Amino acid sequence: MTDSGILVILSGPSGSGKDTVLNKFLDGRNDAKVSVSMTTRAKREDEVDGVNYYFVSREYFEKKLSEDKMLEYAEYAGNLYGTPKAPVDEMLAEGKAVILKIEIQGADKIRKLYPDVVSIFLMPPSATVLENRLRGRNSEDEETINHRLVIAKEEMRRAADYDYVVINDTVENAAAGIETIINAERRKTFRNKNIISEVINNV
Amino acid sequence: MTDSGILVILSGPSGSGKDTVLNKFLDGRNDAKVSVSMTTRAKREDEVDGVNYYFVSREYFEKKLSEDKMLEYAEYAGNLYGTPKAPVDEMLAEGKAVILKIEIQGADKIRKLYPDVVSIFLMPPSATVLENRLRGRNSEDEETINHRLVIAKEEMRRAADYDYVVINDTVENAAAGIETIINAERRKTFRNKNIISEVINNV
C-alpha cells in the first residue's frame, strides 16, 4: 500500500459528463470516494442531504469559513458552494483516493494547499458532442446554448493547467481512464517511501 | 491518440526481475517495444543478434560514439554497452512506448536528453526475496552474494530519483504495473495538446 491517500481534482466544462463518469468510476469500489460539497442553496426534491450536498444555512457556512474549515468555496447565483476540509483529511488518512469535483477556480486554490494533488480534466471527444450534450440537456434557447458553449470553450483553455486529460468518448472509457491514472499515481515513488525504506533497511 | 510516443526507463537492482517482467509486459503487444542495446562483448550461444543485443566490434561502437549516435553508454568488465539513438527516435515517432532497460548511471544521462522520459524503478517486494533470487540464480559463494546485496542496496537508494516504483511481488502484478503507468502517462495533458486544441478550435 501507498503511504497515504491521494487527493484528486476532477474538472471539466458543463456537458463533459463529470457526474455520469464519476458515478461509473465509483460504482462498487471502496478505495475511492467523492468529497461531498456544502451549499447554502435550497435542497431540491430529488436530492439527499449528505449525498448530493451538505445543505446548510448561510450562517453555518460563514462560520465554517471564518474557522478556516473549508478547502475552497465560491458563490454562484447568490448561493455559497464549498469543500469542507475535515472529511477530506479523514478519507486521505484512511488511504483512500478522494475526488473533488470542482470548478477551475477551486482547483487553483487546492493546488496551493495540496501540492501533491492529482488533477484531471474531463474533455468531450469533439465540439459536436459537446454541443449535442448541451442541447440535449434541456430545451433552452439558442442564445443560452451559445453562451454555455463560450463558457465551455474558456474552461477548456485551462485544461493545460491539469496533470491529465481524460476524453469522455464513452462513459466506460472515461471511468477506466480515471482508474488508470489513480492506480499509476499510487505507484509514484514519493508515495512509496515507506516500502522502499523497508526493503533497503532489511538488506 | 497521444501526440507522440513515450520514452520509458526501467531500472532495478540485479535480482529485481527486470527481464522476466519486461517479457511478460511486452508479450503480444505492438504499442510498446524495448530498445535493443549495442555491445562489444562476445555473443553467447543462446543469444540472438538484434534481439538480445546488437553485437558489434569495438571499432564500430567507438565510431557511433564519435558520431553522437548513442544515447548513453557505459563500460563493464572491458566491454562497451550502450543505447543506439536512431531506433529509439523512430519508434517514438511511430507513437510507441519505447522502454530502455538501463542502469542508474544511464538513466541520469537519458533524463537530461529527454526531460519527458518516464522512469520506473523495479523493486523486489522484500530483502528476503531479493536475497533468495540472488542465491537461486547460480551457485556463487557467500562473498559474491554479499557483494551483490551491497550493490543492490546502493542501487535501491537511488529509487527516489525515479518517477514510479513497481514492486515485483508477482510477475503479473509488476507487468500490469508498468502497463498502468504507461496508460496513465499517455493521458498526461502535455501529451494531448493536439486533441485538446482540436476540440477547442471547433467550438
Residue-wise pLDDT for A173-190, tens only, equals: 999 999 999 999 999 999
Stretch A104-114: mean pLDDT: 91
Quote the pTM value: 0.92
CB count, 10 Å around CB of B87?
15
pLDDT value for B83: 95
Q: Chain A interface, mutation test: which of B157, B199, B201, B202, most A Cβ atoms within 10 Å?
A: B199
pLDDT band at A27 (very low <50, low <70, confident <90, very high): very high
Answer whether B189 sits within 8 Å of A160, measured CB to CB.
yes
Q: How far apart are alpha carbons A121 and A18 in whole angstroms? A: 10
pLDDT value for A141: 84
Nearest residue to B15 via CA among B120, B187, B150, B112: B150
Q: What is the pLDDT of residues A54-95, one digit of tens each?
A: 999 999 999 999 999 999 999 988 999 999 999 999 999 999
Q: Is B43 on the interface with A (CB under 8 A)?
A: no
Query: What would the grid cell of residue A56 be?
Result: 446548510
For residue A192, which residues of chain B lie inside 8 Å, CB to CB? 165, 167
pLDDT band at A1 (very low <50, low <70, confident <90, very high): very low
pLDDT value for B134: 87
Chain B nearest-CA distance from A37, in A, is 26
Answer whether B156 sits within 8 Å of A183, measured CB to CB.
no
The ipTM assigned to this model is 0.91
Answer whether B163 sits within 8 Å of A203, measured CB to CB.
no
pLDDT per residue of chain B (203 residues) written in tens, 0 to 9: 456 799 999 999 988 999 999 999 999 999 999 999 999 999 999 999 999 899 999 999 999 999 999 999 999 889 999 999 999 999 999 999 999 999 888 999 999 999 999 999 999 999 999 999 888 766 678 888 898 899 999 999 999 999 999 999 999 999 999 999 999 999 999 999 999 999 999 98
Output the average pLDDT for chain A.
93
Nearest to A164 among B167, B187, B198 (CB): B187
Query: Which amino acid is it at B145?
Result: I
Partnered with residue B83 across adjacent β-strands are: B72
Q: Give, rounded to a whole angstrom, the gap between the first and last alpha carbons of chain B.
A: 20
Residue of chain B whose Cα is closest to the Cα of A183: B180
> 3-state DSSP call for residue A75?
strand
pLDDT value for B99: 97
Nearest residue to B33 via CA among B14, B5, B11: B5
CB count, 10 Å around CB of A106?
21
**Predicted confidence (pLDDT) at residue A138 exceeds the cutoff of 70:** no
Query: What would the grid cell of residue A84 be?
Result: 469542507
Q: How far apart are alpha carbons B41 and B79 in whole angstroms? A: 5
Nearest to A184 among B181, B192, B203 (CB): B181
Answer whether B189 sits within 8 Å of A153, measured CB to CB.
no
Given phi > 0 = left and psi -120 to 50 = alpha, else beta, which region is B152? alpha
Answer whether A203 sits within 8 Å of B157, measured CB to CB.
no
Q: Number of A:B CB contacts under 8 A?
A: 116
Nearest to B187 among A152, A181, A200 (CB): A181
pLDDT value for B61: 97
Q: What are phi and psi of B16, to 5 degrees?
A: -85, -20
Q: Chain A interface, mutation test: which of B150, B169, B200, B202, most A Cβ atoms within 10 Å?
A: B200
Answer whether B202 sits within 8 Å of A160, measured CB to CB.
no
Q: Among residues 167-196 of chain A, which lie with CB inside 8 Å of chain B?
A: 167, 177, 180-181, 183-185, 187-190, 192-193, 195-196
For residue A199, which residues of chain B lie inside 8 Å, CB to CB? 123-127, 130, 156
DSSP-derived secondary structure letter, A43: P
Burial of A22-48, coded b for 16+ CB within 10 Å and e otherwise, reads: bebbbeeeeebbbbbbbbbbeeeeeee
pLDDT value for A135: 85
Partnered with residue A75 across adjacent β-strands are: A80
E strand segments, A69-199: 70-76, 79-84, 97-101, 118-123, 164-167
For residue B123, which residues of chain A lie inside 8 Å, CB to CB? 195-196, 199
Q: How far apart are alpha carbons A22 and A33 in whole angstroms? A: 10
pLDDT value for A192: 94
Chain A nearest-CA distance from B93, in A, is 21
Chain A nearest-CA distance from B83, in A, is 25
**Predicted confidence (pLDDT) at residue A154 exceeds the cutoff of 50:** yes
**Predicted confidence (pLDDT) at residue A31 exceeds the cutoff of 60:** yes
Answer whether A196 sits within 8 Å of B152, measured CB to CB.
no
Chain B nearest-CA distance from A154, in A, is 9
Which residues have CB under 8 Å from B20's CB, separation 6+?
B171
CB count, 10 Å around CB of B29?
11
Stretch A127-139: mean pLDDT: 83
pLDDT value for B3: 61
